[in-house]
Amino acid sequence: MTCKLKDLFPDAPDGDTVITGMTADSRRVKPGYLFAALKGSVTDGSKFIPDAIGKGAVAILSGEGTDNVTVAHIVDEEPRRALALAAKRFYHSQPETVVAVTGTNGKSSTVDFCRQIWARAGMKSASMGTLGAVGPEGHIDVGHTTPDPVTIHETLAELARQGVTHCAMEASSHGLEQHRLDGVDLSAVAFLNFTQDHLDYHSTMEEYLSAKLRLFRELGRPGVPAIVNADSEQCNDFEAAALGKQMPIVSFGWRGEDLWIDEIMPRATGQVLHLYWRDVEQKPLELPLIGEFQALNALAAAAICLSLGLNIDQVADGLAHLEPVKGRMEFVGKTGSGAAVFVDYAHTPDGLDVLLRAVRPHTAGDLKVIFGCGGDRDARKRPLMGEIAARQADDVIVTDDNPRTEDAAEIRKQVLAGCPDAREIGDRGEAIRTVIAELKKGDTLVIAGKGHETGQIIGKEIHPFSDQDTARDALGAEGA
Ligand SMILES: CC(=O)N[C@H]1[C@@H](OP(=O)(O)OP(=O)(O)OC[C@H]2O[C@@H](n3ccc(=O)[nH]c3=O)[C@H](O)[C@@H]2O)O[C@H](CO)[C@@H](O)[C@@H]1O[C@H](C)C(=O)N[C@@H](C)C(=O)N[C@H](CCC(=O)O)C(=O)O
Ligand SMILES: Nc1ncnc2c1ncn2[C@@H]1O[C@H](COP(=O)(O)OP(=O)(O)OP(=O)(O)O)[C@@H](O)[C@H]1O
Ligand SMILES: N[C@H](CCC[C@H](N)C(=O)O)C(=O)O
Ligand SMILES: [Mg+2]
């Protein structure tokens, strides 16, 4: 695929220069590329301009203050946004309907549910986010929850090529703040919830909130539905942002104005939902997933699909047939005495709280939780997660998550500050094997924090590791 520089930037110098690709990482430049030199939190991409030109870059995009560029040079006061718009023009196709979903927790689950509901209604659908892009022809790795704009547009173009008409994608606060989504034409925007996370990156909760609000305030367009969780404390902020952009609000939740739950009746392997859609009472439907938070994510997906044209019968049918999302309240197996083991991706205080509260009604004996916190990420959530575990579980085992470049023992110490009576077993595999061997009839074990992950990041290396495989092996050994 190629285009001319003037197709990307109408006023560019040397507009007939042929562009073969683009990147913000000099290490990925190939001949004919546009290199976007971006100022980052660690380094300044301008330093790599000579290197990029040496590798064949024929055009440079940068902010103001970068001089002596020897190839075509485009200067923009917001180069990250300019890169996103250039990526959109370069790949120039995307599924007709794209919804972006933001929130601290539940994005991956919600976009996956949207894909499933659309597919069951006969549409070619896709989801994109932490679990990669999933479309009719399988899985595409995208690296991040909201990848860089070049990857976003390359992937959206590929999904369009596969015939996808409906795509739901995750909008992380990093992605929103860094303009990664600015080139996507959105048919709807959605807000799930807002609780503590990422205070390593956003210095305050206010800054974190305003990054999330960008989805409505800056990427929203008049007439595009804004789906809002009415139960969130921040729903007024998002509704005000929607009104400011003349976006019709579709609100959902226990307190939803459009789609609301009146009652949830838990069952052994699911829950019966009693729903209303725009004042019309619906037949009770059995959602084949447990946990109130999963019901609320399913409701969010339902509200999105309803806003984008499905009727309530199609949506109810989709909800009744939802399959679990990998690593989200995933049932892994039972011990010989019947104690259940779940793997979940809870990695925030609120996530851990709702997870443990969801499992409690299914636990006649002790509720045990194994978890840790990731390194090089929000340190302020560590003692809070410790406190929540101590409050909600009967037995807490603090272990390692992805220590990354931090000292793993120091991370555990910070978690243990919130749960001083917890056990500490640093080696995650050993923690899982030890606790599974101890489980008694009626107990439930929840292994939280790594969900679908298949590696453990120690230093800069990724070591193969799966909570599911480790637990299954231990369950096998226990039954032997
Ligand atoms: C904290 C963060 O989001 N950092 C992102 C940000 O990096 P930065 O601007 O700080 O980059 P930097 O390291 O200072 O470098 C500045 C520029 O020089 C470039 N560079 C650097 C070195 C070199 O040799 N050549 C070169 O060109 C870099 O590509 C970059 O464009 O911009 C870079 C692209 O320009 C991203 O790759 C990078 O994501 C890093 C890899 C990352 O790990 N991000 C995570 C935390 C993230 O985005 N997570 C979110 C949320 C997760 C969730 O809630 O689930 C996600 O959406 O995944
Ligand atoms: N609606 C919710 N409210 C609170 N916690 C939730 C909710 N939905 C999911 N969680 C918790 O968050 C975990 C991660 O869920 P999911 O992957 O869907 O969220 P995410 O927003 O995509 O996370 P990430 O920020 O890593 O992309 C779940 O395993 C669960 O523990
Ligand atoms: N998207 C989240 C995932 C955290 C998962 C947890 N296992 C960790 O490594 O902290 C983040 O990067 O902050
Ligand atoms: Mg996610």
Q: What is the ipTM of this complex?
A: 0.96
CA distance 293 to 357: 10
Does the CB atom of residue 245 touch ligand 1 within 6 A?
no
Which residue of 28, 39, 41 sits with most ligand 1 atoms within 8 Å of its CB, as the best mutation to test the pocket? Answer: 41
- Would the annotation count 46 as a binding residue? no
- Architecture in CATH of 93-320: 3-Layer(aba) Sandwich (3.40)
pLDDT for 314-370, tens place per residue?
999 999 999 999 999 999 999 999 999 999 999 999 999 999 999 999 999 999 999
Does the CB atom of residue 25 touch ligand 1 within 6 A?
yes
**Which amino acid appears at position 165 of this protein?**
T
Q: Domain segments of the chain: what residues?
A: 3-89, 93-320, 330-479
Confidence of residue 397 (pLDDT cuts 50, 70, 90): very high
Query: What count of other Cβ atoms lies within 10 Å of the Cβ of residue 339?
Result: 24
State the residue for tokens 């009727």: 311
CA of 309 relative to ligand 3 center, distance in Å: 34
> Which pLDDT value is given to residue 479?
61
- Is it the case that residue 37 has pLDDT exceeding 80? yes
Ligand 2, atom nearest to 109 Cα:
18
CA of 351 relative to ligand 2 center, distance in Å: 6
- Strands 395-398 and 367-371: what pairing? parallel
Q: Write out residues with Cβ below 6 Å of ligand 2.
A: 103, 105-109, 130, 145, 170, 192-193, 293, 296-297, 328, 344-346, 350-351, 354-355, 451
- Is it the case that residue 480 has pLDDT exceeding 60? no
Mean of the per-residue pLDDT values for the chain?
96
> Which pLDDT value is given to residue 67?
84
Q: Which is it for the CA torsion 68, 69, 71, 73, positive or negative?
A: negative
pLDDT for 268-320, tens place per residue?
889 999 999 999 999 999 999 999 999 999 999 999 999 999 999 999 999 99
- Would the annotation count 453 as a binding residue? yes
Print burial letters for 170-208: b (CB count within 10 Å at least 16), e (below 16): bbbbebbbbbbbbbbebbbbbbbbbbbbbbebbeeeeeb
- Phi and psi (nearest 5°) for 56? 115, 10
Order of strands, sheet of 423-424, starting from the edge strand that comes earlier in the sequence: 330-334, 340-344, 444-448, 367-371, 395-398, 423-424
Find the DSSP H helices in 9-122.
49-54, 79-91, 107-120
Cβ-proximal residues to 163 (8 Å cutoff; 6+ apart), any chain = 124, 136
Would you identify the CATH topology of the domain 330-479? Protein-Tyrosine Phosphatase; Chain A (3.90.190)
Instruction: Single out the residue of 19, 6, 1, 8 nearest to residue 58, CA to CA.
Output: 19
- Would the annotation count 210 as a binding residue? no
- Would the annotation count 377 as a binding residue? yes
3-state secondary structure of 397: strand
Domain 3-89 matching CATH 3.40.1390.10: the answer reads: yes
CA of 107 relative to ligand 2 center, distance in Å: 6
> Which pLDDT value is given to residue 198?
81
pLDDT for 58-113, tens place per residue?
999 999 988 889 999 999 999 999 999 999 999 999 999 999 999 999 999 999 99
CA distance 108 to 62: 33
- Is it the case that residue 432 has pLDDT exceeding 90? yes
